[in-house]
Amino acid sequence: MATLGGEAALVQRFELTTLGWRVGRILLVGLPSPAVRPLAKYGRELTVMRILIADDDETSRRILAIVLKKLGHEVVATENGGAAWSVIQQPGAPQMAILDLMMPKIDGIEVCRRVRQAALEPRPYLLILTALVDKAHLVQALEAGADDYMVKPFELSELRARVTVATRVIAAEERLRTENLRLEELVRERATMLLHADRMASIGVLASGIAHEVNNPATFIAGNVNVLDQCVEILTGYFDGKTAGVDEQVALALSELPKLGAAMRSGVVRIESIVRGLRTFSHKTDVVDFTEVSVRDCIRASLELCHSRLKYKTRVSHRTDESPLIVRGSEQQLVQVFVNLIVNALDAMETCSDNQLTIDAQSLESRIEIRVEDSGPGIAPELHARVFAPFFTTKQAGKGTGLGLAISKNILEMHGGSIRAENGRTRGACFVVELPMVSRNENRRVDAP
């Protein structure tokens, strides 16, 4: 049989001590290597755990170190509780500590008590090692903060089992800690989103009030334009055939009045369109009622709402196929998504000289695809997925909250759809929205041409 040299002599000498540990050379030689019996953590293979040994008996320390190293662990050994406590407080402290109950200066119970009072994060798993069979001491150790204990002498299989249990507990605590951090981040995200939603609600209330105030005078103007048309018709009929006696300025006025009336009517139509867009955008959505919605109408309303920014330096290409583009959803929420995509595109092209915004919508079997493409600098491929993360933004500080695309993604997923970012066909960025289409059999609404 193969020997372990100095280790074998140590084990044979250790077997003769009064502790009477039954850890022999055969057991040590027969230990599985880390490659044979790895430890599991988070579904991955982990062959090494850093373990602290604190025991005032040198032979005990060395034997435990040999066994644990054979099991594939990294070992730190100290001879008293004071040194052990110093190691535990250092960065990269051991994940597990095996502490002898009785040690000079600071015993194992006091180390456990200090670890608990210090509220270390993460806290090492504490295993008390003792030759005492007095239950009072064991209870005292557990009350002080020990996680487990082991009585000397012990079998190798018991040590291995208890270390395996420690590994499972450490992994569970780490999963719990990670989940807590995730939940805290989620709470922070949701709180910010609620604040954003509250601001949007306030904007909606203002927009609704503005729409109401603007709509009233627009109605008066529309009515007066109709009266003006009638007056022009009467005057034209009255002066018809009397050109010889008509003043030149009156004749010019009669010829210009119809043009002015048409321009006023066009302005009223535009005001009414803006008012409809504001009302759609500000519609209360505490309870979302999904109805059949025209994607074409949503895009038109979004372009109308963004018209003031589009009209100066951006060419807009808006193409839709002739099939009905009907989905089941909330018109207000879909308009919000498209407004956000258009505003993002305009922000991206702000420093460009040749601005082109292209919006294509087409039906693809059972779904509708909408592509919003700009001629800006584009988005780096490695950021295509990250742009939808809450609080992530490529805009300058103070220009964006990093919530627009995250909220848009949530809205589209509520509609059974999706959104992705990719490079534009020529340049710039392209956002592709997909929504499930209402089938022709289900569709009871004729889409506007």
pLDDT tens digits, 215-272 = 777 777 878 888 888 888 887 777 766 655 567 777 777 778 888 888 887 777 777 7
Q: Where are the domains of the chain?
A: 6-154, 189-284, 286-449
CATH, domain range 6-154:
3.40.50.2300
Q: Which two tokens stand for residue 78?
A: 């100290």
163, 315, 332, 415 from 289: Cα distances, Å: 56, 35, 10, 11
Residue 77 to residue 112: CA distance in whole angstroms: 17
CA proximity to 334, closest of 407, 250, 233, 236: 407
pLDDT of residue 76: 92
Domains 6-154 and 286-449 share a fold: no
Residue 115 identity (one-letter amino acid):
V
Place of tokens 């450490």: 170
pTM of the model: 0.45
The CATH class of the 286-449 domain is alpha beta
Spatial neighbors of 399 by CB under 8 A, at least 6 apart, are: 347, 393
**CB-count exposure of residue 210 (10 Å: 0-12, 13-18, 19+):** middle
Asked if 74 and 29 count as a contact pair (C-beta separation under 8 A), the reply is no
Question: What is residue 20's DSSP assignment?
Answer: -
Helices assigned H by DSSP within 146-247: 156-239
Low-confidence ranges of the chain (pLDDT < 50): 1-5, 8-46, 286, 442-449
Asked if 299 and 280 count as a contact pair (C-beta separation under 8 A), the reply is no
- Residue 153: asked if its preceding bond is cis (omega within 30°), the reply is yes
- In order, the DSSP letters of 275-339 are HHHHHHHT---SS---EEEEHHHHHHHHHHHTHHHHTTTEEEEEEE-SS--EEEE-HHHHHHHHH
CA proximity to 50, closest of 20, 91, 107: 91
Three-class SS of residue 4? Answer: coil
